[in-house]
Amino acid sequence: MANYKEKYLSITLLTVLLVLLYSSCDANSVPNREVEALLKWKESLANQSIIQSWVTTPAGGNATVQSPCKWRGITCNSAGHVIEINLAYTGLRGTIEYLDFSSFPNLLRLDLKVNQLTGKIPPNIGLLSKLQYLDLSTNSLNSKLPISLANLTQVYELDMSRNNITGELDPRLFPDGTSPSKTGLITLKNFHLQKTLLSGRIPDEMGNLKHLSSLALDWSHFYGHIPPSLGNLSSLTYLGLSGLQLSGQIPASFGTLNKLTELRLHVNNLSGSLPEELGNLSSLLVLHLAVNNFTGQLPQDVCGGGKLVNFSAAFNNFSGPIPKSLRNCKTLYRVRLEYNQLTGNIDQDFGVYPNLTYIDFSYNKLSGELSPNWGECRNLTFLNAAGNMIGGQIPDEITQLNQLMRLDLSSNQLSGSIPAQIGKLENLFSLSLKDNILSGPIPAELGGLSNLESLDLSMNRLSGQIPGQLGDCSKLQSLCLSKNRLNGTIPYQLGKVPSSFSSLRSMVALNLSYNNLEGPLPDGNFFRSAQPESFSNNKDLCGERQGLKPCIAASIEKKKGKDHKHKIVVIVASLASISIFLVGCIWISAYICRRSANQPKIESRPEQKNHLSVCHFDGKLMYKDILEATKNFDEIYCIGAGGFGKVYKAEMLDGQVFAVKKLNSHSHDDIEIQEVNSFKNEVAALTEIRHRNIVRLYGFCAQRWHSFLVYEFMERGSLAKTLSNDVGAKELDWGKRIRIIKGVAHALSYMHHDCVPPIIHRDISSKNVLLSSELDARVSDFGTARLLNPDSSNWTAVAGTLGYVAPEFAYSLAVTEKCDVYSFGVLTLEVLMGKHPGEILSFLHSSSDDQKFGLIIDVLLDPRLSPPKRQELEDELSFILSLAMLCSQANPQSRPTMRSVSQQLEARQFQGF
């Protein structure tokens, strides 16, 4: 037995040895070539640890070359042939130009995704005739697509997305003699952009890759028509062509792709109506058509297969009805149809969707009523039906949607009352029912919305009192109840809203104007920081603030009974104004007129109504201190120059630091004597502005020789300065840049929409955006333009920085908010690009539709930062870019308002296709 065992063992060993010997003999021919090819490639790459294991035995060792099969990233078959090269996600640097593909006849998989590869894709890649899987995505390959790819007929998955890859301009690809230069994109070279970037078509030959199951060319640089030959890819399950500049129609041949589960065509220039055949795609789970220029109807059978999960067609010109097949499409998870011309009756078009989390069909022409069925879509977190012609009442059933975070039914024709049970939606953070014909009271139950941040019920017919329970909404940041029929007093409980004031959000908005409210304003920051105009056009409001009569009287009156009402009011009112005045003096002197202890005391002069006149008085002292602190405006203290004069850093003896803007003498001369009063009022209003993204103005001092504005000092200086040097630019990573853009948008929105009359900046530029120590944006010089030039026709004389001034200014002197919107658009591009967009701006506008700039985002982005790696970040940047394009349109009417911009930026986290 033992003998037999030994024999058996030795025979086996022998066989194994023989096999090994045999295979190593065989390996001598092919694997040597493979090893040589890999080593040659390694040599061409910079020294890096990933490929350190790629070594042969040291010299003096066995003459035979070591097998590569144990090298990192290399897999062999049993015969020792390399079948897979996988160095994905290794940070590999270099090019694949020196990788000789002819040496790998057995290669099945080549996976180099998410690395730092540059250079070209070698044309001989077509020799990998057995290749099944090819992924070179997310690199910096800068190449045309080799036409030889068409020979890789075994490939079932091909991903080259997120590269600098363009289509080959090989004439063989354009048998009809069409030249890409006819599309006009070649004009890019005039702007010295990477001119090859935007050129190229998807080669027709792609249609030969019969086994392809996934083709992703998203967010690269292809243009032209979609080759109908792609319809031959009958195994295709995924086709991603989003974020390109494709034009023309979707080929009817797509109707045969019946294995397709995911079709992404969003963010292109596609147009025309959809081929009816698209309805045949019965396997579809995901269909994205958003942000194109499609017309005609949506495919009626889009959910014919009953599997559709994610459907977006937003931002097109689709008309006609909502597809019939959507009604029973229970699988739906996410639906976006907003901004089209869809018509029809929504109570019949939509059904019950147990898994639906997000639906937006806002800004269409839909009519009908909200069906109680919506209450059955229990997973809904976002419902936006704004801007349609929806009538009837808000169904009570909607209050069953306890996952709901955002509900927007604004700008419709909803009537009846607000269902009280809405107060049960404890996840709701934004509720807008604005601009409807809702009547009845505001339900006290809304106080149960503990997560509510924004409530807009304005422009309705709501009556009765504001329920005190709203004060329980401790996260409320924005409350808009204007243009209703609300009466009674403002409940004091609102004064405690929001508890976290000044913590996170910058925007605190309150608007109660155009109602029948009376009585005192509640205490608290919410009310203190609101603009006086938030309370205008009411019955009889009072409070210690501009524009309202003081009302200490009212409370005393309540205690003492109702006699002698008028007498008391008069006496108390004058007492109050004196004390307000005194408080004002103290407050101002505390800030800017410090160090008065050894100086003559401020004398209160009751006849002076405006506390700024005191500042004038005390300004003499301030004046002296500032002259001292800046050594008589010595240049060494100069930290910048703005539209109206130079800015100096003034470090006072007590350690406080201010930025002092010394006005050019001519600016000062412009202030006519008769304007002095309105001027003071303006300054008073401006010094009251508190906004996280606006540089605080402490006051103004005018003297015979100099006059200056005293501002909060911002250590990091201007955005322009930071962007202009490489260190600063790198510190401003994408996240910080996005925050800066949002900050400026919030500041502008606040000044345009929460101040009445609106305050227009008129000189938004990167020099006027300062950075806090946390690199948050603070807009400076707000209101200075109006302050110094109340007559807007005089604008050119002072404000506006070349390159940021809206074009309409050339032919019309009208200064509107839209001028700021334009400058904001330019500024946003500058933040993304790291430099002023210059002529590129007009190119961008001339080349294509405004919403489609995602595709060139990586061309534009500041090259000093590494491109965004995460998809969400890239999407966000594309979105911001498209907003910037909207803002910088030539036609002021087409530009969005800053409120809408600011809200869209905030709402971003709940969107995305």
* Shortest distance in whole angstroms from residue 142 CB to ligand NAG: 4
Is the bond preceding 498 in cis, omega lying within 30 degrees of 0?
yes
Sole window of 143-151, 540-548, 696-704, 877-885 interacting with ligand NAG (rule: CB under 6 A): 143-151
DSSP code, position 702: E
The verdict on 95 binding ligand NAG (CB under 6 A) reads no
- Specify the 3-state DSSP secondary structure of 83: strand
* Binding residues with ligand NAG: total (CB under 6 A): 27
Rounded CA separation 105/65 (Å): 19
* Shortest distance in whole angstroms from residue 186 CB to ligand NAG: 13
Rounded CA separation 830/765 (Å): 9
The verdict on 164 binding ligand NAG (CB under 6 A) reads yes
Residues 461-480 that bind ligand NAG (CB under 6 A): 463-464
The verdict on 138 binding ligand NAG (CB under 6 A) reads no
DSSP code, position 394: P
Rounded CA separation 80/753 (Å): 72
In one-letter notation, the amino acid at residue 26 is: D
Rounded CA separation 164/138 (Å): 9
Is the bond preceding 757 in cis, omega lying within 30 degrees of 0?
yes
* Shortest distance in whole angstroms from residue 602 CB to ligand NAG: 43
Closest CA to 833 of 905, 904, 732, 739: 732
Q: Which is nearer to ligand NAG, 392 or 488 (CB)?
A: 488
| Catalytic residue list contains 763 | yes
Q: How many helices (H) and strands (E) does the chain have?
A: 18, 42
The verdict on 293 binding ligand NAG (CB under 6 A) reads yes
Q: Which is nearer to ligand NAG, 24 or 77 (CB)?
A: 24
Please state whether beta strands 262-264 and 516-520 pair in parallel, antiparallel, or not at all (unpaired): unpaired
Sole window of 189-197, 260-268, 420-428, 589-597 interacting with ligand NAG (rule: CB under 6 A): 189-197
Please state whether beta strands 645-651 and 657-663 pair in parallel, antiparallel, or not at all (unpaired): antiparallel
Binding mask 567-596 for ligand NAG (x = CB under 6 A): ------------------------------
Residue selected from 32, 44, 229, 295 as contacting ligand NAG according to rule CB under 6 A: 295
Say how far residue 381 (Cα) sits from the centre of its chain.
Answer: 20
Q: Which is nearer to ligand NAG, 330 or 594 (CB)?
A: 330
Annotated active-site residue in 408, 625, 763, 862: 763
Residues 368-407 that bind ligand NAG (CB under 6 A): 378-379
Residue selected from 50, 65, 69, 147 as contacting ligand NAG according to rule CB under 6 A: 147
* Shortest distance in whole angstroms from residue 542 CB to ligand NAG: 15
Which whole-number Å values give the CA distances from 744 to 749, 768, 782, 872, 895, in the listed order? 8, 10, 11, 22, 16
662 assigned ligand-binding residue: yes
Neighbours of 90 (CB within 10 A): 17
* Shortest distance in whole angstroms from residue 330 CB to ligand NAG: 4
Sole window of 13-21, 139-147, 428-436, 869-877 interacting with ligand NAG (rule: CB under 6 A): 139-147
Rounded CA separation 449/431 (Å): 10
Binding mask 503-542 for ligand NAG (x = CB under 6 A): ----------------------------------------
- Specify the 3-state DSSP secondary structure of 839: coil
Sole window of 22-30, 144-152, 410-418, 595-603 interacting with ligand NAG (rule: CB under 6 A): 144-152
Binding mask 271-290 for ligand NAG (x = CB under 6 A): x-------------------
Q: Which is nearer to ligand NAG, 256 or 415 (CB)?
A: 415
Which tokens sit at 102?
A: 């002819």
Binding mask 306-345 for ligand NAG (x = CB under 6 A): ------------------------xx--------------
Closest CA to 769 of 728, 824, 818: 824
- Specify the 3-state DSSP secondary structure of 387: coil
Q: Which is nearer to ligand NAG, 568 or 859 (CB)?
A: 859
Q: Which is nearer to ligand NAG, 316 or 693 (CB)?
A: 316
**Where are the alpha helices (H) located in 361-448, listed in sequence order?**
none
Cβ atoms 353, 383 nearer than 8 A? no
The verdict on 488 binding ligand NAG (CB under 6 A) reads yes
Per-residue DSSP letters for 484-512? SEEEEEPPGGGGG--TTTTTS-S--EEE-
* Shortest distance in whole angstroms from residue 402 CB to ligand NAG: 9
Sole window of 93-101, 191-199, 424-432, 711-719 interacting with ligand NAG (rule: CB under 6 A): 191-199
Cβ atoms 425, 397 nearer than 8 A? no
- Specify the 3-state DSSP secondary structure of 856: helix
The verdict on 168 binding ligand NAG (CB under 6 A) reads no
H or E element: which one contains 44?
helix 2-44
Residue selected from 184, 248, 354, 735 as contacting ligand NAG according to rule CB under 6 A: 354
Binding mask 57-76 for ligand NAG (x = CB under 6 A): ----xx--------------
Which tokens sit at 172?
A: 């063989």
Rounded CA separation 13/11 (Å): 5
Rounded CA separation 432/441 (Å): 16
Which tokens sit at 162?
A: 């997120």
Residue selected from 105, 126, 372, 468 as contacting ligand NAG according to rule CB under 6 A: 126
Residues known to be catalytic: 763
- The contact set with ligand NAG (CB under 6 A) reads 61-62, 126, 140, 142, 147-148, 150-151, 164, 194, 196-197, 271, 293, 295, 330-331, 354-355, 378-379, 463-464, 487-488, 849
Annotated binding site for ATP: 662
Question: Binding-site residues, please?
Answer: 662
